[in-house]
Amino acid sequence: MSTWIVRHVSLPCLISRGCPALLFHLDNFASPQSPSDSHSLSLQKGVFLIPRLPRMSSFVTRLLHHQSLSHSSRRFCLISSSAHGRFLSMDSNNVDEPLKVPEAETVDPLPPPTQKLLVLGGSGFVGSHVCQEALNRGLTVASLNRSGRPSIKDSWADNVQWCQGNLLAPETLKDALTGVTSVISCVGGFGSNSQMYKINGSANINAITAASEQGVKRFVYISAADFGIVNYLLQGYYEGKRAAETELLTRFPYGGVILRPGFIHGTRRVGSMKIPLSVVGSPLEMVLQHAKPLTQLPLVGPLFTPPVNVAVVARVAVRAATDPVFPPGIVDVHGILRYSQQKSK
pLDDT tens, position by position, 68-92: 444 444 433 333 334 444 444 444 4
Give me the pLDDT at residue 252, please: 97
Rounded-to-integer distance, Cα 25 and Cα 15, Å? 16
Q: Is the pTM of this model over 0.75?
A: no
Could you tell me which residues come within 8 angstroms of residue 49 by beta carbon, excluding any fewer than 6 positions away?
Answer: 21, 22, 23, 24
CA angle 93, 95, 98 (to 5 degrees): 115
Give me the pLDDT at residue 287, please: 67
82: left (phi over 0), alpha (psi -120 to 50) or beta: beta
Provide the b/e sequence for 18-57 (b: ≥16 CB within 10 Å): ebeebebebeebeeeeeeeeeebbeeeeeeeeeeeeeeee
- Closest Cα partner for 239 from 219, 253, 223? 223
Domains of the chain (ranges; CATH) run: 2-89 (no CATH), 116-340 (3.40.50.720)
Provide the b/e sequence for 127-154 (b: ≥16 CB within 10 Å): bbbbbbbbbeeebbbbbbbeeeebebee
**Low-confidence spans in the chain with pLDDT less than 70:** 1-113, 270-272, 276-281, 283-285, 287-288, 291, 294-304, 344-345
End-to-end CA distance of the chain: 48
- Closest Cα partner for 204 from 246, 233, 150? 246
Give me the pLDDT at residue 266, please: 82
Compute φ and ψ for 97, nearest 5 degrees.
-75, 120
Give me the pLDDT at residue 335, please: 94
Question: How many Cβ atoms are within 10 Å of 181's Cβ, its own excluded?
Answer: 18
* Residue 183 near residue 219 (C-beta atoms within 8 A): yes
Give the number of residues written for the chain. 345
